[in-house]
Amino acid sequence: MNQSNARAEPLRETVAGSPEPLQAIETAYRRIEGEPHRNCWIHVRPREEAREECIKLMARARAGENLPLLGIPFGVKDNIDVEGMPTTAAYPAFSYMPQRSAKSVERLIAAGAICLGKTNLDQFATGLSGARSPYGSCASVANALYVSGGSSSGSAVAVAAGHVVFALGTDTGGSGRIPAGFNELVGIKPTVGLVSSRGLVPNCPTIDCVSIFCNTVHDGEAILGVIEGFDPEDPYSRPATVSAAAGPGGTFRFGRIAPADIECFGMNDCAELYESACSRFSRLGGHAVEIDFAPFRQAGEMMFTGPWVAERRSVIAALTDIDSGGLLDVTRTVLRSASSYSAMDAFAAIHRLYRLRRAVQNIFADLDALVVPTAPRPFTLDDMHGDPVTLNNRLGYYSYFANLLDLCAVAIPNARLPDGMPMGVTLLAPAWRDRELIGLARRLELDGGGAAFELRSRARDR
């Protein structure tokens, strides 16, 4: 069913001591409780507990403490630890109660944000569809016939439905971007290692990262500023190379895919929306440069038709018996495919990846960003359940390569298909150019200039 983008009165930046934070908490719980059919929450914090925390935060703010995210409600993907809330990774038998929150969550709470609960995901973050969870499939908020995208499905849906202002996800092969594209959100995928991964249930630890779902690039930039930073407790954390923010205007050069090379898997309307985005960016001062997409495509193919699936299996097998009856069949099928790769295959793939990285570095040498569709096309939930592996992998055509090639990314809304389904575009740049890319994304997003930290409401499926 198609749904519009009607918004309630926004929650603007709060004023210390005002009732607005408590109003935001009440609004959030009212929406969460009114929409259980969205399947976006696995665990919701008791309302009174969140209210009490909000009251304490307001008192601290009145006493002069700096709390930049005072009272702002957020959600956390349920493969990221939050103290006092169970972590399941969408596998009930795996559930445990962490003694400590993930570093990213600790930093948000220290800034005054209030975590309302844990959001649904593709089991063990293995998937891009949002249809691989024992807690139910998540549909796009814009059109309930279609997948929400995954694996951070619940985080995206919770933000798009107006349950929370922002949410944390993770992104290994597109999980922080695909759901943003299908729910008309902004998705920030930082450089791997910029945000600590301590407290994440590992997937592919060498290329995992925390991601952000929000309504504007401005919000994403502010949240990233809170959670980023080197973490000596995280062996995958990397000291950042300084990247200046992009200026407010001027010309820029962006790479684009040649029309003949655009892959939409039979839905040509999606190609037209990508062309319209490129034309709009040119009108805003961009100079489009057609690039050779082959190195990106080849790197992306290595994600699940290469030995990185073996890294995923090795990690998950250390957490649970993958041959037990508890895993979904599709999760087990994906993980079992890892057994066909040897150590020799892994090193051959690493050597090939280094060559592809060098080719991509040369492509970016004269570009400010590469612009690609966030996903080739949407698929219905019925189609995805009928062919969960093939269609899932097609969703990652424009996203699988990013972390393998050490790129940062920002997914932004673009336009809608005739049936109301959103199709976003993603801006990519080499590692550590996060601030420059965010600055460019702020110029290009459709909803530029919106107030920060809005709690938005979408028209509901009643």
Q: Is the pLDDT of residue 7 over 80?
A: no
**pLDDT tier at 341 (50, 70, 90 boundaries)?**
confident
Domain architecture of the chain: domains with CATH: 20-239+249-444 (3.90.1300.10)
* Whether residue 282 lies in the annotated active site: no
Q: Residue 69: which residues within 8 A CB-CB, separation 6 or more?
A: 108, 111, 112, 113, 222, 223, 226, 453
Residue 202, φ and ψ in degrees, nearest 5: -65, 150
Q: Is residue 191 packed enough to be buried (19+ CB in 10 Å), middle (13-18) or exposed (0-12)?
A: buried
Instruction: Kindly provide the residue ranges of all beta strands, DSSP E only, lying in 143-241, ordered along the sequence.
Output: 166-170, 186-189, 210-214
Only one residue has tokens 């575009």, namely 425
Indicate the average pLDDT of the chain. Answer: 91
Q: What is the pLDDT of residues 98-107, one digit of tens each?
A: 999 999 999 9
Say yes or no to pLDDT of 246 above 70.
no
Pick the closest to residue 432 from 195, 180, 252 (CA basis): 195
Place of tokens 């400010």: 368
Q: Is 4 a catalytic residue?
A: no
Tell me the three state secondary structure of residue 17.
coil
Instruction: Measure the CA–CA gap between 21 and 164, rounded to whole angstroms.
Output: 12
* Residues 135-166: tens digit of each pLDDT: 999 999 999 999 999 999 999 999 999 999 99
Higher pLDDT, 7 or 346: 346
On the question of pLDDT at 84 being above 60, the answer is: yes
Among the listed residues 175, 197, 211, 237, the single catalytic one is 175
Q: Distance (Å, rounded) from C-alpha 32 to C-alpha 165? A: 13
Residue with the bigger pLDDT between 11 and 108: it is 108
Residue in 397, 344, 377 with CA at minimum distance from that of residue 173: 397
Helix (H, G, I), strand (E, B) or coil at 214: strand
Q: Is the pLDDT of residue 455 over 90?
A: no
* Phi, psi for residue 116 in degrees, rounded to 5: -95, -10
* Lowest mean pLDDT across 47-51, 338-342, 369-373: 338-342
- Of 273, 292, 295, 300, the closest CA to residue 412 belongs to 273
- Phi, psi of 99, rounded to the nearest 5 degrees: -85, -10
- pLDDT tier at 337 (50, 70, 90 boundaries)? confident
Of 309, 241, 313, 7, the closest CA to residue 141 belongs to: 7
If pLDDT is split at 50, 70 and 90, which confidence band does 305 have?
confident
Give yes or no for residue 16 having a pLDDT over 70. no
**Residues near 110 by beta carbon (within 8 Å), at least 6 away in sequence:** none
Q: Between 377 and 324, whose confidence is greater?
A: 377
The active-site residue, picked from 129, 151, 237, 399, is 151
Q: Is residue 77 annotated as a catalytic residue, yes or no?
A: yes
Q: Which of 77, 103, 118, 189 is catalytic?
A: 77
Instruction: Reply yes or no on whether the pLDDT at 18 is more than 60.
Output: no
Over residues 348-390, the pLDDT tens digits come to 999 999 999 999 999 999 999 999 999 999 999 999 999 999 9
Using DSSP's 3-state secondary structure scheme, residue 272 falls into helix
